[in-house]
Structure 1
Amino acid sequence: MTWHRKPLAGLDLETTGTAPEDDRIVTAAVVRYGGGRPTETRSWIADPGVPIQAGATAVHGFTTEAARTAGRPAGGVVAEVVDAVAALVDEGLPLVVMNAPFDLTMLEAEAERHHVRGLFARSVPLVLDPKVLDKRVDRYRPGGRRLEDLCRHYVVPLDAAHDSSADALAACGVTWKIANRHRWLTRVPLDELHEQQASWAADQQESLREHFASTPGKEHRAATVRTDWPLIPPMRSGVWAGE
């Protein structure tokens, strides 16, 4: 049985801003998807302990006050999210994360911040990133590559964009659709596919860097592009250019 016929684990985070090492988790969801079983979803709201940027509020809808009112202490939330992801990874499930370096770097940084043992210290996740996979199988398709764009292209429901649970489910659905459409991916062992995505992601980010460098008004963004996948090492300045 190919890997796309078995369950997938999914992770999504909504955050206070766009710097994965310095900003904080506001909401999180972990899902178990597919494999002939009912979908299981766990979700969290955290009080991040810092103000939520207006741009982030415009995306996911949580104000600083709303997160303080509805959220639980961030350290406890981070510990539970890491536990939930590690448990599914330890079952042998691949971990689907849209734009993985952002969410996984954020989760590791939050774990360090709150003195929680991080995911990569506990497990060896084999990651599937629909953003990287889609760019590999359909490199020259015009249009956007955000999750909403991929859902439209692959005909995957996304009832509430930037709701963590909805995004985690949609990312799994898109990954399944990509694999089902491009069956050669399903014949690649997951550990090899993980390594191949690291190479593909590096090439894709280099292309993004070149695009910024050659586009008037965007030249300064070239220096912020990182090529690491699925986790970026510490970077303490500026906004990470993942898109």
Structure 2
Amino acid sequence: MSWHLEHMAALDFEASDKDADTARIVTCALILGGLGRTPDIRTWLLNPGIPMEPGAIAVHKITDEYAAEHGQPAEQGVGEIAKAIAEVVAAGIPLVGHNLGGYDLNLLDRECRRHLGDSLEGIVREPLRVIDTMVLDRQVAPFRKRVSETQGPYQMRTTAETYGLPWDEEQAHGAEYDAFMSARAAYQMGVIAHTPYRERPAWVQALRTNRFNSLRDLTVEELHARQVQWYWEDAVRYQAWLRNEAKAKEKYDPEAVIPGEWPLRPVPAQREAGEEL
């Protein structure tokens, strides 16, 4: 069965800040669904136990006071989330999300280490199978420009709108809504990849490179392996760009190091000093 027709478990987190190594989980949504399946939705609200960054609060609209009053203790919540994901993975269901391997799974891994004394891999035990719609979107529709100064080219809203999905800004940035939209976006990418070229949307036919075929006729395992390579290649290119003063200009950093591991990267202490791609 092609990857996009399988049942999936959509996963998304909202957190205390945008650094996966230091952030704490505030909300989580895990949605089991797929063709012919009624969605099974689980959500969590945690008390992160630390003050949240103002920018994070502005995004998810959950204040420190609200999380402290209504959220469950972080250790309890992280344990429940990790157990739920372990059950999903053991059942052979792939995880899907937007920037899932770039942020969310690393956030959960750090929280597992912090509160449960083990890594996410150590708790889950089975190999993760991940479908990351940000990785897929960058692969099949590269070089997309920013929509505006505030809307990036590959953020969840842009991806959703690119693939013809309606976007509700009032619901956006809630873990449940974002998880659901990532699953819908993944399905749309799969549909396009398995549609004859001349029947694909006009914007797809107008792309400079035809990369949608790289998603065709793959199992989840095969797609996962390709994403590992695509993420690494993107990291290598971005690192080289940052080190090129003529191209990077004000973002120029001659010592920039962009981690290329996906979907889980080593904690900072595990990376060798001066390690490069």
Q: Do the structures match in fold with TM over 0.5? A: yes
Aligned length: 236
Residues 87 and 226 of structure 1, relative CA distance in 2, 3 Å threshold: same
Q: Does 1:207 align with 2:245?
A: no
Q: How does 1:1-243 map to 2 (within 5 A)?
A: 1-99=1-99, 100-115=101-116, 117-121=118-122, 122=124, 123-143=126-146, 144-159=153-168, 160-183=171-194, 184=213, 185-213=215-243, 214-220=247-253, 223=256, 225-235=258-268
Q: Tell me the secondary structure at the aligned position of residue 172 of structure 2.
A: coil
- Larger RCO (alpha carbons 8 Å, 6+ apart): 1
Q: Tell me the secondary structure at the aligned position of residue 256 of structure 2.
A: helix
1:108 partner letter: D
2:57 partner letter: T
Show CA shifts across 1:159-199 (max 9, x none). Answer: 32210000111111111111111124251122221111011
Higher mean alpha-carbon deviation, 42-51 vs 202-211, is at 202-211
Show CA shifts across 1:104-155 (max 9, x none). Answer: 1110110111125543222211111101111111113333100110011012
Structure 1: give runs of 5+ residues left out of the alignment: 237-243
Q: Which residue of 1 aligns with 2:202?
A: none
2:45 partner letter: I
CA distance in 1, matches of 2:255, 2:33: 36
Residues 223 and 49 of structure 1, relative CA distance in 2, 3 Å threshold: same
Query: Which has the larger Rg?
Result: 2
Residue 224 (structure 1) shift:
5.2
Q: Tell me the secondary structure at the aligned position of residue 28 of structure 1.
A: strand
Structure 2: give runs of 5+ residues left out of the alignment: 147-152, 195-212, 270-277
CA distance in 2, matches of 1:88, 1:157: 28
1:85 partner letter: I
CA distance in 2, matches of 1:155, 1:40: 24
CA distance in 2, matches of 1:49, 1:60: 17
2:187 partner letter: W
Residue 101 (structure 1) shift:
2.5
Structure 1 stretches of 4+ with a deviation exceeding 4 A read none
Higher mean alpha-carbon deviation, 33-42 vs 203-212, is at 203-212
Contact 1:8 1:35 in 2 (8 A): no
CA distance in 2, matches of 1:11, 1:147: 13
Give the TM-score taking structure 2 as reference length: 0.80
Show CA shifts across 1:25-71 (max 9, x none). Answer: 01111111213111111111100011000111111111211211121
Higher mean alpha-carbon deviation, 125-134 vs 186-195, is at 186-195
Contact 1:98 1:147 in 2 (8 A): yes
CA distance in 2, matches of 1:148, 1:69: 30
Q: Tell me the secondary structure at the aligned position of residue 40 of structure 1.
A: strand
